[in-house]
Structure 1
Amino acid sequence: MARDSRDQQLIELKDTVKELNTTIRNLNALIEAANKREEEHLLKEQEHIEREKVLQEQIDYLTKKLFGKSSEKRDEFEGQLNLFNEAETLKAEPDPEEQEFTTVEKHTRKKKSKMADKFANLPVQEVILDVPENERFCDVCGTPLERIGKEFLRREIEFIKPSIKIIYYYSVSYGCPKCKINAEVPHIVRGRDGQAHMLHGMASAGTVAWVMYQKYVNSLPLYRQEKDFKMYGAEICRGTIANWIINNAEEFFKPMCNYFQRKLVAGRYAMADETPVQVLKEPGRRPETKSYMCYVMSSCLIPKSL
């Protein structure tokens, strides 16, 4: 009976040990989880501190940039190395007897241009503010006044806007009165301007040059030039201006194009560059069809030094 009691106690002790081991393992797991959470919390706290430090540095920099002095000289911060003047900082004070003196050559500043130099190429017109003739008498004794000089008052820059006018050319004819009666063919002489009229349209050479200059130098579109002509009193549509440019450029640049063509054919080889462009209203082709603009250069056009 006593032996059964001891066996029962032994069994109970073994169960108690097993339960205690289980409890110990659970406690160890809880401790590990708590330690892990604490490490994560410390890591987040460290990241938060670093982030606050970075933000504070940015705030200090922006505050100094906004409210600090605007001098280009860089301030030295405590504890920060000077990368540019390190040698000068670490160098000992030199001996006055070993100092070398360098002489800097004197240089003069660029002379500022005067107002008279800026407008030296412009025409000058003087406006005389004269006294009316009925006021050129002395108010005291009535003696006629004499001119004693003139005084400079002010200077103005006046822009004279372009103007448009129509020029009619007439050729005057002269005939011999005797030949008109006696000769079989009358002798008639007409006035000529001395040069053939090669321009296309009513525009003069100066007008064509002006619209080309506005278009290709000042980048002024044709519709804006059309508005300018209307403002000056002339109803000229942009299509007419385009015809002036195209037809006259084709006529006057044709000799140059023929010259380059002859040079191109005479060369040993030719180099070409194709640039894709879109051409509208091209006969027999859709607007979406890709076209090419070719730039061709001959070996005759290349300098020999190349």
Structure 2
Amino acid sequence: MRDDASLPDDLATAHRQIREQAETLRQQAHLIGRLQHQLEQLLRQRYGRKGEAVDPGQLTLFAPDAVEVAEAAPGPPPATPPEKAPGRPAGRKPLPRSLPRRRVVHDVAPEHRACPECGAERQRIGEESRQQLEYVPASLVVVEHIRPKYACRSCAAHVVVAPRLPEPIERGLPGTGLLAHVITSKFADHLPLYRLEGIFGRHGVELPRSTMCDWMADCAGLLEPIARAMARRVLGSKVVGVDDTPVTVQDHGGKGKKTGRLWAYLGDRDNPFVVYDYTPDRSRDGPERFLAGYRAGYLQSDAYAAYDGLHARGLVAVGCWAHARRKFYEARTSDPERSHAALAWIGRLYDV
């Protein structure tokens, strides 16, 4: 152990190191308690009255005195009541003012307004009010677009009609609101198209999932200019962050499914956009194609070898503190002194 003279001189860093050590002690105590509970349960299954068999070879992992303690124990210790979570402030949160209000008046019937003592009609002196949150179900509406046609009766010709309004899908059935709802439900709320098919069916409208899938493909083409503009902004950043994640997709080659890759590219604070790019595999072709126009800047990524070619052409490799911190976090039990010091310094960087 280090002596007191080698402790951090900076008070804020010392406090953070103490908090990191306290958190480690708390987690270790929790782990010890959980393992001790598992040990007691295993020993009771072996020596207790329960009929479930346990491999005796597992008991060789434990010390003999632990087995003796388990034999002497008459039963499980009394359960300690769980600690109560900090209570929330009493009272109900007010409903947002942005929600529309509908006033419903429950008035006293006229025959009950007479005073029971003198018979005069009682006058209104105030009211009692309470708010109730209600849900208005979504509904489908058929919008019929009418374009009157005009012609010259004298010439019996020269027909004129208002031009057609632009539509997201040429001569398609869905309006912009329906397309926005399907897109949000599928990609933001993770609602599969087959469930949307059932929901629309309860409204009495048959919308096959294959049709909605075609709509999504058409909308992807409509939104492509926006995605390209976002990509240009990301490539205009001084620092670009990139990472990939596996995604399961259908394999039209006959194997049922395969694993593709979805790459996320993050711009800096002046270009706060995230652009996703799909590739069928994890080869270097994906990031090299997307970052082909990114010549001078910093590339923040993990140590995947696919980025080596980008660094070789001049992009400065920037490490990730989240990945670096994880190794110090994992070393808390093997080298607690130095790991907590490193965690404290990294925490100071996070505060900047």
How high is the TM-score relative to the length of structure 1?
Answer: 0.50
Report the structure, 1 or 2, having the larger strand content: 2
What TM-score do the two structures reach when normalised by structure 2? Answer: 0.44
Structure whose CA Rg is larger: 1
